[in-house]
Amino acid sequence: MAAILPTTFTGPNGRRRGEEWRLANIRGDAPRKQGSCVITLAGPLAGDWIDFDGSGGGGPLSALEHATGFSGFDLFHYATEMLAQSADGSASGARQAGPELESAADNRALRTEREIELILAQVRPVPGSPAERYLANRGLPVPACPDLLAHPDLTHWDTRTGCPGLIALVRNRDGRRIGIHRTYLAPDGADKAPVSKARKMLGSISGGTVRLAPLADGVIGLAEGIETALSVMAACPQLPVWATLSAGNMAEVQLPPEVRRVVLLADNDVNGAGLDAARRAAVRLHAEGRQVFLTAPPQSGEDFNDLLRREGVEAVRAIVLAAAPWSPDADLVATPFGTPAAGGSLVDDPLAGGMPLEFTEEALALEFSARHADDLRYCAAWGRWLIWDGQRWRMDETLRGFDLSRRICRESSNRALVKVGEVKAAAKLASVLASAKTVAAVERLAKADRRHAATTEQWDADLWLLNTPGGIVDLRTGALRPHQRGAYMSKITAVAPGGDCPLWLAFLRRVTAEDEDLQAFLQRIAGYALTGSIRDHALFFLYGTGRNGKGVFLNTLTRILADYAVVASMDTFTATTADRHTTDLAMLRGARLVTAQETEEGRRWAESRIKALTGGDPITARFMRQDNFTFLPQFKLVIAGNHKPGLRNVDEAMRARFHLIPFTVRIPKAERDLELPEKLKAEWPGILRWAIEGCLAWQRAGLKPPQCVLDATAAYMEVEDALGRFLEERCEVADKDRLTGQDNTAELSELYASWQEWCRKTGEYAGTSKRFSQNLESRGFLRWQHPRTRRMGFRGLRLIVRASSPNYGRDLEG
């Protein structure tokens, strides 16, 4: 060893001190100059090493293995060469090394046991360690198992690095420890360590198992991997599962004599290795007189941890409880594992009477999802399936999901008649599979499959994409791209954009009296309505006394936008004393254009609702007999009418939102074309293209209402501004620089009395004193309290026309 070490342990930190070789650690990768690892060079312990910091140690071959990364034959070959070179290259040097190497090989088992003891001296319970996070990331709880432990700094000899580890003890049929299994983990435990071999054995595992739970009532489960075993235990806590650590070892496993029932939990490997090993184990265990059940995940390439992470514990539980008994004629219908047995019980199986694995409701639901995962989504909040039709996700209105489940159950029923040998059993099973109960159960299970699951928020989420039969239009640029499932578009327009629309343009010129600015404004409104943006918080009111084209304009856009447009009742937007169900709001989810027509004379706007709907705040609503859901509005509100609904409070919020668009041209009877809507239908593609151009123009310049719209809106607001007219007729409003002083104040009681009298004379609604006071404050008038009388008043205005009662009319006196 004295001759080998200087050549093998090279580097700045390795050095000799007497009969010892000292270095930072056995891997040689620590930066310290003062070594804590000591290798003995002479005497009876020559070649033995110990790491005082890491509490590790071993013999001469272990030291060479750590230093070189060699193992097995390569390690012996390297040691032979080094010993030969240490004897001046003579053949006798190599021959002299023979006895030493043979002695090391003879003592290999003892040295392995010593290494295992050194590792186990540093282990600790799994809770609170990186190993706990590793298991949690795989959906696994930490079992109360003394044979599953965590190591804080497990040496990985191939890379000469240390990392956290998961340590599992391997025991033989007598319960004696014969080896350990090591899983090397990333420092935070998020995954396995990024090394070539993250799982390693130490010692012998042949015929042994990792006992993750004590034997219970003579029943155990056998799985290959530790994580697979823990997955089954998470789903079936009453079933203890032991891990065999490999497919080959499952076939050779040796169990205690008290084990009477064994559930073989095979990996469904693509190459069939897992199921083949499980069948070989079943042959031997059955020959030993044990009752054997066999099951595996239904999807190729999966183990039970894959199934747990994809489908949850119920899916694993269903497969385990349906495990079929193994026998030479095991393909006959027989009692599954989950059925209570004489002398003991696990859990009640809902399928009493027995059923092969491939015919369970869970297996059929997985088959349903395997077939339809690409083209079916289920939104639990809506209680509806959505079906991909090549262009969009269409809401199912014909029980398509139930019908597809029915097809699978019908096919499985036919298979059962062929595969099940006993006639009565086959007929009974076929009847169960074809029943409405099974069809409904399969569909219900499939609804929960993560491959189908969808939320309300994911549909039509990109406010700048418009789905058309020709593809998806990116409204930011006007570019067209192919349909995609992943875009999750549930809506579609009636036509794809393209072509010209000369009749439409002529129609617009006629109804706007050739006003080009108004035509451009209408085009920008149409383009704005294509998007899901509501940045302008606008309400558009198309006003005209009839026969002026506003209905044709609005109906044409509504029919082109199709799924993106909703025609609402005027009652949704006008005031009423009755309570409304929120269904009228629920139907607005996802709409981009909401229209209403035919306003009645004498109606008033529901001002607070309009402000809420156009303000962009979340809306909570529900359909009949369904749960509430919340959505963000995307719609633009465009209303047409022959009468102007009234406003009780004209504040800045309503002034900013309202756009009154005058349709003042009345089409003479001789010029009216009753076929115009149908004629325009041929130009829908061109009209959609015209609207997309309007969207690009709106993005460049904004809405930019023309003067005629500004004037019409201002006139409407002036007429509807009852408080403004009252202030003009009965009050003197002070300049902003004269808002102080006794001469520029009015008592609230006097103001309100005069306001009530004015409203009675003009037919306006007076409201409460509190509402009147709030409206004055919103106009910028300052609330004020007289220091002596404590009466409330307002600065900035002076009452000049008092109420007729002699009790009113006094200005506040100092």
Looking at the structure, tell me whether residues 714 and 737 fall in a common domain.
no
DSSP string, 643-685: S--B-S---HHHHHHEEEEE--PPPPGGG--TTHHHHHHTTHH
Structure tokens at 577: 């004393």
Among the listed residues 162, 165, 245, 259, the one whose alpha carbon sits nearest the alpha carbon of residue 203 = 245
Please state, in angstroms and rounded to a whole number, the distance separating the CA atoms of residues 406 and 43. 81
Residue 805 lies in a domain: no
| CATH code where residue 666 lies | 3.40.50
**752 and 714 share one domain:** no
Shared-domain flag, residues 639 and 523 = yes
Tell me: do 92 and 162 sit in the same domain. no
Which of 173, 203, 233 delimits the end of a domain?
203
pLDDT tens for residues 701-758? 999 999 999 999 999 888 888 888 888 888 888 765 554 545 567 889 889 999 999 8
Residues 127 and 135: their CA atoms lie apart, in Å, by 10
Write down the pLDDT at residue 650: 80
pLDDT of residue 331: 37
Q: Are 162 and 245 in contact (CB under 8 A)?
A: no
| Structural domain contains residue 137 | yes
Counting other chains too, the contacts that 448-451 makes at CB distance below 8 Å and 24 or more residues apart are 448/312, 449/311, 449/365, 449/366, 449/369, 449/373, 450/310, 450/311, 451/369, 451/373
| One domain for residues 587 and 628 | yes
Q: What is the DSSP string of 338-363?
A: TS-BTTB-----SSTT---GGGSHHH
Provide φ and ψ at 72, rounded to 5°: 60, -135
Closest CA to 55 of 129, 153, 169, 147: 153
Residue 262, SS3? strand
pLDDT for 96 equals: 40
644 closest CA partner among 587, 712, 716: 716
Residue 513 backbone class (left: φ over 0; alpha: ψ -120 to 50; beta: rest): left
Neighbouring residues of 244: CB distance < 8 A, sequence distance ≥ 6: 209, 222, 223, 224, 250, 253
Distance, in Å, from the CA atom of 550 to the CA atom of 569, rounded to the nearest integer, reads: 17
Mark whether 78 and 21 lie in a shared domain.
Answer: yes
Asked whether residue 212 falls in the same domain as residue 181, the answer is: no
Residue with tokens 């009636």: 494
Report the domain count for the chain: 6
Does 466 map to a domain? Answer: no
Give the amino acid at 466: L
Residues 458, 481: Cα–Cα separation, whole Å: 20
Please tell me the distance from the alpha carbon of residue 160 to that of residue 154, in angstroms, as a whole number: 10
The pLDDT tens digits of the residues spanning 39-73 come to 877 766 677 777 655 556 667 766 766 665 555 54
- Alpha-carbon distance of 117 to 167, in angstroms, equals 12
- Domain boundary (433, 454, 475) is at 454
d(CA 620, CA 633): 10
Please state, in angstroms and rounded to a whole number, the distance separating the CA atoms of residues 152 and 27.
Answer: 17
Using left for φ > 0, alpha for ψ between -120 and 50, and beta otherwise, residue 698 falls in alpha
- The answer to whether the Cα torsion of 298, 304, 308, 313 is positive or negative is positive
Alpha-carbon gap, residue 619 to 612, rounded angstroms: 8
The token pair at 80 is 């032979």
Residue 567 half-sphere exposure, CB side, CA atoms within 13 Å?
13
| 327 assigned to some structural domain | yes
Query: Residue 225's domain is classified under what CATH number?
Result: 3.40.1360.10
Domain range enclosing 755: 725-799
Other Cβ atoms less than 10 A from the Cβ of 65: the count is 21
Predicted pLDDT at 335: 41
Return the half-sphere exposure (C-beta side, CA atoms, 13 A cut-off) of residue 447.
17
538 and 663 share one domain: yes
Which of 168, 203, 238 is the endpoint of a domain? 203
Tell me if 699 is assigned to some domain: yes
Residues 6+ apart with CB under 8 A from 110: none
Regarding whether 259 and 180 lie in a shared domain, the answer is no
- Please work out, in degrees rounded to the nearest 5, the angle formed at the alpha carbon of residue 717 by the alpha carbons of 712 and 719: 100
Are 759 and 746 spatial neighbours (Cβ–Cβ below 8 Å)?
A: no
As averages over each run of 10 residues, the pLDDT of the chain (814 residues) reads 54 65 64 62 70 63 64 53 49 40 57 84 91 91 90 82 91 92 92 88 88 88 94 91 90 90 90 84 87 87 90 88 70 41 35 58 90 94 93 95 94 79 76 92 94 92 96 96 94 96 97 96 98 94 88 96 93 73 82 87 80 86 76 91 83 87 90 93 98 97 96 88 85 65 74 90 86 85 82 85 54 34
Q: Return the SS3 of 691.
A: helix
Q: Is the separation of the CB atoms in 634 and 618 below 8 Å?
A: no
Decide if 484 is inside a domain: no
Give the residue from 71, 60, 75, 161 showing the smallest Cα distance to 111: 60
Residue 695 lies in a domain: yes
Question: Do residues 523 and 607 both lie within one domain?
Answer: yes
**Unique residue bearing structure tokens 């026998």:** 327
Assigned token pair, 576: 């009423």
pTM value is 0.53
User: Is 472 inside a domain boundary?
Assistant: no
Residues 255, 329, single domain; the answer is yes
List beta partners, residue 203: 179
Identify whether residues 76 and 155 lie together within a single domain. no
- Residue 230 confidence (pLDDT): 95
